[in-house]
Amino acid sequence: MPADRPPPEGPSAPEDRSMLLDSARRTTEVEPILTVHPEPGVAKPNPILTMDGLRRSFGGLTAVDVDHLEIERGIVTALIGPNGAGKTTLFNLLTGFDRADHGRWEFNGQMVTSPSPDRLARRGMVRTFQLTKSLAKLSVLQNMLLGAPNQMGERLWAAPFRHLWRNQERTNTERADELLEQFNLARMRDELAGTLSGGQRKLLEVARALMSDPALVMLDEPMAGVNPALAQSLLGHITQLALSGVSVVYIEHDMDVVSGISDWVVVLAQGRVIAEGGPWKVIHDESVIDAYLGRRRAGTEA
């Protein structure tokens, strides 16, 4: 399943080296997670997201069936699993885009009682979509600005009075330009987003999600369709994010990417968490390999 892409430690761009440095530095910072025993549903020292008994079925098919799972704060967690494992569905449940049949989860220390996507986003849980949702008829910059939180100008009563929101808009624009620069989209700033390539839209969506300074970003296959060089820099940003205290969960199929930048890996198969742990250990876990190859083992069959 892994896409045809060079491993993260490629020999080329200068950013690669800095990324290596970052990950070296990070190893010391994420120490606590390394002490966690790698088994499904294990408790973490400082979780930002904790879910219990989360279930969702479509007709007879149980897409998600997670007994207990914790996502650690401030690190990069990869969510992997074969196609149809329920990764996207799990994202949809957690972010309020789909309703669980059962289950409860806690975000940032607070129970999520009535999951509405916009409220969760305002609380700091921001996601991107597997099928990109860039807004084609808005310019790239407008897309970015839309991501900014608490905008005075988004209130109807203040909208006609530009002086009430001009400064905030300017600050947001500066922030947007910074991010566009980082994501190699500065050139496209004033183009309509609909004119971007598929990979550029993926990048735009991630950059846009970052406009709100989220506490947790959930990226659904952010690297899919992005060319290797850009994917490389995107990986760098993800690492940077975790360094600056943001928690990241991302879905990815490429094992090189997963082992390159993840601090922790959760494996989903047929809706269940079948393994979690440090990247090296999980990727070489036999039950994980079996799941990817479509083999069922006595232990995972329910």
Ligand X SMILES: Nc1ncnc2c1ncn2[C@@H]1O[C@H](COP(=O)(O)OP(=O)(O)OP(=O)(O)O)[C@@H](O)[C@H]1O
Interface with ligand X by CB under 6 A: which residues?
58, 61, 63, 81, 83-89, 130
Cβ-contact 97, 56 below 8 angstroms: no
Which span sits near Mg ion by CB under 5 A: 103-111, 112-120, 123-131, 289-297? 123-131
Stretch that binds other proteins, among 33-41, 149-157, 268-276, 291-299 (CB under 8 A): 149-157
Neighbours of 59 (CB within 10 A): 6
- Report the DSSP pairing between strands 76-80 and 247-251: parallel
Q: If binding is defined by CB under 8 A, does position 149 make contact with other proteins?
A: yes
Q: Judged by CB under 8 A, does residue 108 bind other proteins?
A: no
**Angstrom distance (rounded) from CA 17 to CA 251:** 24
Strands (E), 14-113: 47-58, 61-72, 76-80, 102-107, 110-111
Residue 195 within binding range of other proteins, rule CB under 8 A: yes
Total residue count of the chain as it appears in this document:
302
Q: For other proteins, which residue of 11, 113, 114, 118 counts as binding (CB under 8 A)? A: 118
Question: Which does residue 89 touch among other proteins, ligand X, Mg ion, none (CB within 5 to 8 A, set by kind)?
Answer: ligand X
Backbone phi, psi, residue 205, to 5°: -65, -40
Q: Which is nearer to other proteins, 95 or 232 (CB)?
A: 95
Shortest distance in whole angstroms from residue 281 CB to ligand X: 21
- 137 binding other proteins? (CB under 8 A): yes
Residue of 273, 255, 270 lying closest to 82 (CA atoms): 270
Residue 122 interacts, among ligand X, other proteins, Mg ion, none and using kind-specific CB cut-offs from 5 to 8 Å, with other proteins
Give the nearest distance from C-beta 154 to other proteins in angstroms.
5
> How many residues belong to the site for Mg ion (CB under 5 A)?
2
194 binds other proteins (CB under 8 A): yes
Q: Are strands 61-72 and 216-220 parallel, antiparallel or unpaired?
A: unpaired
Under rule CB under 5 A, residue 130 binds Mg ion: yes
Q: In sequence order, which residues have a C-beta less than 8 Å from that of residue 166 and are 6 or more positions away?
A: none
Tokens 């994917």 -> residue? 231
Among 25, 155, 187, 284, binds other proteins (CB under 8 A): 155
Task: Give CA–CA dist 62/79, Å, rounded.
Answer: 18
Closest CA to 34 of 44, 47, 20: 44
Q: Does the footprint of other proteins cover residue 146 (CB under 8 A)?
A: yes
DSSP per-residue string spanning 110-127: EE-SS--HHHHHHTTEEE
Residues that bind other proteins (CB under 8 A): 95, 97, 116-119, 121-122, 126-129, 133-138, 142, 145-147, 149, 151-156, 158-160, 162, 165, 169, 192, 194-195, 208-209, 212
Contacting residues toward Mg ion, per CB under 5 A: 88, 130
